[in-house]
Amino acid sequence: MRSRADSSLAERKRQLVADELRDAALMLLATKGFDVVTVDDIVAAAGMSRRTFFRYFASKEDVVVRFLADMSVDVITELAARPPAEPPSVALRHALWVPLAACNDHPEHSERARVVVRLILDTPALHARWLESQIQWRAELATELASRCGLDPHTDPYPRMAAGMALLALDTVLQQWQPGDDEQRLTELTDRAFAVVAPALDAPTTSPDAG
């Protein structure tokens, strides 16, 4: 009986197919543009059937956006792991740095990540989906922040807005991400972006009786 090993094998096979599909898709989409490449083109390049594509990805947009959306768990985990005494601006800066650091750790992946970011920012449909996935991040970050600060996320706007400001900083960094930027430059951009929102993130909480 090796049912666990079997499931692992099946899992790896699935992962292999998903990777093949994703690689073919990203290559075509990034080089030719999102709108002109059809799903038929992608599956032809990957040597699979059209139906299989939609078994692995919910939509054409999903292939691209999942790349960034998957980072959310790491970010939340990191935020939860930051020392409670740390001011919100510092904790959030470290949490959102995690995916950026992951890019830098794998230079061969970094290039593709940057290309995907460019593709998303330049394609309205993808940009919209990316922002939509940020809504989920924001809710999760807000929940974590609320428990950190002992606030009620339903009555106090701070947690949600603090999360929104952190994601705004991330967005700003990504939009300024240029080809050839090294880790040094990325750190710089991140620091500057968080410096802008820090006064609001670390401000003493507004008196709740005002609202």
Residues that bind DNA (CB under 7 A): 1-3, 6, 9-10, 13-14, 17, 37-40, 48-52, 54-55, 58-61
- Which option in DNA, a copy of itself, none does residue 9 bind, with CB closer than 5 to 8 A by kind? DNA
What is d(CA 169, CA 193) in angstroms, rounded to the nearest whole number?
5
* CB-count burial class (<10 Å; 0-12, 13-18, 19+) for 2: exposed
Instruction: Tell which one of 72, 104, 143, 172 touches a copy of itself (CB under 8 A).
Output: 172
Residue 69 found at the interface with a copy of itself (CB under 8 A): no
Question: Could you tell me the two tokens for 55?
Answer: 């078994």
- Pick 11 or 202: Cβ nearer DNA: 11
Could you tell me which of 136, 139, 131 has the C-alpha nearest to residue 168?
A: 131
Least distance in angstroms from the C-beta of 160 to DNA: 29
Asked if 203 interacts with a copy of itself (CB under 8 A), we say yes
Based on C-alpha coordinates, what's the Rg of the chain?
Answer: 20
Among 41, 86, 171, 183, binds a copy of itself (CB under 8 A): 171
For position 181 contacting a copy of itself by CB under 8 A, the verdict is: no
What does the DSSP assignment read for 81-120?
Answer: HS-TTS-HHHHHHHHHHHHHHHHHH-HHHHHHHHHHHHHH
Site for a copy of itself in 111-150 (CB under 8 A): 124, 127-129, 131-132, 134-135
Q: Which does 20 bind (CB under 5 to 8 A by kind): DNA, a copy of itself, none?
A: none
Number of Cβ within a 10 Å radius of residue 148: 17
**Nearest in space to 202 (alpha carbons), one of 153, 120, 119, 145:** 145
**Contact residue for a copy of itself among 169, 174, 177, 186 (CB under 8 A):** 169
Interface stretch with a copy of itself, choices 37-45, 91-99, 112-120, 195-203 (CB under 8 A): 195-203
